[in-house]
Amino acid sequence: MDVIEVSAKTYDEAVTNALVQLGSTSDQVEIEIIEKGSSGFLGIGAKPVKIKVAKKMTPERFLNQFLSDIFDAMHMNVEILLQVDEEAHCIDVDLKGNEMGVLIGKRGQTLDSLQLLANNAVHKNFETYYKVKLDTENYRLRRKETLENLAKNIAYKVKRTKRPVSLEPMNPFERRVIHSALQNDRYVITHSEGEDPYRHIVISLKR
């Protein structure tokens, strides 16, 4: 229940009743006066004040509806859990369901695309910048650990063969994980080559 109509003897009473019903505060709603009402003559012919009160659209509520519409179109039953950090202007979204492999896609490409869509939608509809992060089944953490192990294994191969190794194309997040994993290695160095979506990392010996 996000929009209600309330009648009362006075405007203040109508607003108070509406806020109680919506479980909101005055700064979280928008109020439209439908009928101003009148006190009548000695109380005779008095008409109540009638207002329409709607919860303001917040980035959190907007994002929840946006993702719900996408999953409905995909005929998927997905539980959407949102956590908002107002100080950091960040919205963490955890998705739960029985078909999360479909949402993750190959190497997380579907999840990354969905995250990009969510970010663009929020940025388009709200002036304040919010960074949206989508995850499911701890995929981001598991992928990070996989990439860190890959980086160490490839670094060992480069040291042994003394030949540079080019990795598969990765998104910016994954490339940062590889760079970070090897930034303190005394023997190898990493750099990126190519243009997105084919941009990839090359691991080679330090000169």
pLDDT of residue 56: 83
Vertex 179 angle, CA 184 and 103, to 5°: 140
- Does residue 1 carry a pLDDT above 60? no
pLDDT band for 40, please (50, 70, 90 cuts): low
Q: What's the mean pLDDT in 150-175?
A: 95
How much is the pLDDT for 131?
A: 94
The pLDDT assigned to 39 comes to 72
How confident is the model at residue 137, as a pLDDT? 94
Contact indicator for 200, 170 with CB cutoff of 8 Å: yes
Question: Range with the lowest mean pLDDT among 5-19, 134-148, 184-198?
Answer: 5-19
> Coil, helix or strand for 203?
strand
Q: Tokens standing for 166?
A: 């080019």
Residues 107, 135 contacting (CB under 8 angstroms): no
- Say if residue 199's pLDDT is above 90: yes
The answer on pLDDT for 204 being more than 70 is yes
Would you place residue 42 in the very low, low, confident or very high pLDDT band (cuts 50, 70, 90)?
A: low
Contacts for 65-70 with beta carbons within 8 Å, 24 or more apart? 66/118, 66/121, 66/122, 67/93, 67/95, 67/114, 67/118, 70/114, 70/117
Kindly tell me if the per-residue pLDDT of 192 is higher than 90.
yes
* Least confident stretch, 72-81, 99-108, 178-187: 99-108
pLDDT band at residue 97 under the 50/70/90 scheme: very high
Q: Measured between alpha carbons, how far is 29 from 43 in angstroms, rounded to an integer?
A: 31
Q: In terms of pTM, does the model score above 0.85?
A: no
Name the H helices within the chain. Answer: 11-22, 59-73, 100-104, 109-125, 139-161, 172-182
Greatest Cα-to-Cα distance within the chain, rounded to the nearest angstrom = 99
Query: In the predicted model, what is the mean pLDDT of residues 176-194?
Result: 96
What's the Rg (C-alpha) of the chain?
A: 27
Q: In the beta sheet, which residues pair with residue 85?
A: 90
CA angle 84, 93, 99 (to 5 degrees): 165
- Is the pLDDT confidence value at 197 over 60? yes
- Residue 138: DSSP 8-state: T
Pairing of strands 49-55, 79-85: unpaired
Q: Say if residue 45's pLDDT is above 70.
A: no
| Average pLDDT of every residue of the chain | 90
